[in-house]
Amino acid sequence: MGRKRKGRKDLPQRVYHNHNTYFFVDRQGKWHNLGRDYHQAMVRYAEINTQPRPMMTLGQVMDRYQKEVIPKKAPRTQKDNLKQLVPLRAVFGHMPPNDLTPPEIYAYMDRRPPVSANREKALLSHIFSYAIRWGAAKDNPCRHVKRNTETPSGRYVDPEQYRLVYDVMPEVVQCAMDIALLTGLRQGDVLKLKRTDCKEEGLLVGTSKTGRTLMFSWTEDLREAINRAQNLPSTIATLWILHTKHGQPYTGDGFRTLWQKAMRKAIQEGRLDPSMRFAFKDLRTTAGSDASDDNLLGHEDRRTLYRHYKRKPLKVTPLR
């Protein structure tokens, strides 16, 4: 057995960080350059180190999970899981799977921010489900651990707030806002829409997070929003509904930068009150709150819809 690490306990076995670069050393002693970015390095590590091996510790189970399970998830989920693995591996990586107890998980969650603790506990539970499948664990201790109470992060955007922010945004962002509000799609799904998704019966979208395919029937407003986006200026013919002036799709980070830059500029110039500011993801919450069709957001379990998205104030009749 190799020596225990003194630092960077979040890294898999035989992965090292030297001179701002990550390296993997295989069993033959060959060094593989994994790059400078941690997330890309972990993906590259998973591609190289594909042979399953006996799993004596949770860290080894996490290694296999990272190699075989995480790459099958949506890109954003992959990035989140790799980030969540860092503290989990640092605290539990040295432990045999069957030695971990619910009180130890509770103690870990007490030291973490409540929402982060929930996400990391959920990932740990999923890891244990595979550990059982692979014969590395007999039980999942996370089943006996309750999640922290959360306040849903999304907010309901009323028509006045929407219009004030809408008016300070560039046209491509306005198009994205209209599509998101009408469909309830996540930002990533809005940005990846292609012209070929426009079918005779509606807009066909394969959602990235849940994997469900949704067909949005054409309405006058949806057709107008899609047509406006398709007619945005482009120097070349493009496959993308929302695109840059060069006909390329927006990346998530690029679009977020565009959104935040326009928001900050409007506030600095006094054209937008800071209290009216909201996040693009809030449009999904708003769509879910206003929708009469509970299938709009694509959730199989309606409890998820009502727990996280139904945020519109409930109208009630006073006693007198």
CATH number of domain containing 93: 1.10.150.130
Residue 64 makes CB contacts below 8 A (sequence gap 6+) with 52, 55, 130, 134
Which pair of structure tokens corresponds to residue 51?
A: 């042979």
Q: Is residue 4 in a domain?
A: no
Domain ends where: 144, 179, 207?
144
Residues 111 and 184 in one domain: no
Q: What is the CATH number of the domain that holds 286?
A: 1.10.443.10
Same-domain check for residues 72 and 97: yes
313 part of a folded domain: no
Answer yes or no: do 163 and 269 share one domain. yes
Task: Clarify whether residues 26 and 82 are in a common domain.
Answer: yes
Give the domain range for residue 37.
Answer: 15-144
138 and 196 together in one domain? no
Q: Which amino acid is at 206?
A: G
User: 317 in a domain, yes or no?
Assistant: no
Domain count, the chain: 2
pLDDT in tens, the chain (320 residues): 456 666 777 788 888 888 889 998 887 788 889 998 888 888 888 877 765 566 789 999 999 999 999 998 888 889 999 999 999 999 999 999 999 999 999 999 999 999 999 999 999 999 999 999 999 999 999 999 999 987 766 678 888 989 999 999 999 999 999 999 999 898 999 999 999 999 999 999 988 877 788 899 999 999 999 999 999 999 999 999 999 999 999 999 999 999 999 999 999 998 888 888 899 988 988 887 776 655 555 445 455 544 454 455 556 567 56
Q: Is the same domain home to 128 and 186? A: no
Domain membership flag for residue 301? yes
Domain assignment present for 185: yes
Residues 166 and 292 in one domain: yes
Judge if 39 and 68 occupy the same domain: yes
Inter-axis angle of helices 114-133 and 75-92, to 10 degrees?
90
Tokens 């708003």: give the residue.
286
Q: Which of 144, 174, 205 is the last residue of a domain?
A: 144
**By the 8 A CB rule, do 223 and 179 touch?**
no
Asked whether residue 5 is assigned to any structural domain, the reply reads no
Which pTM does this prediction carry?
A: 0.61
Same domain, 131 and 21: yes
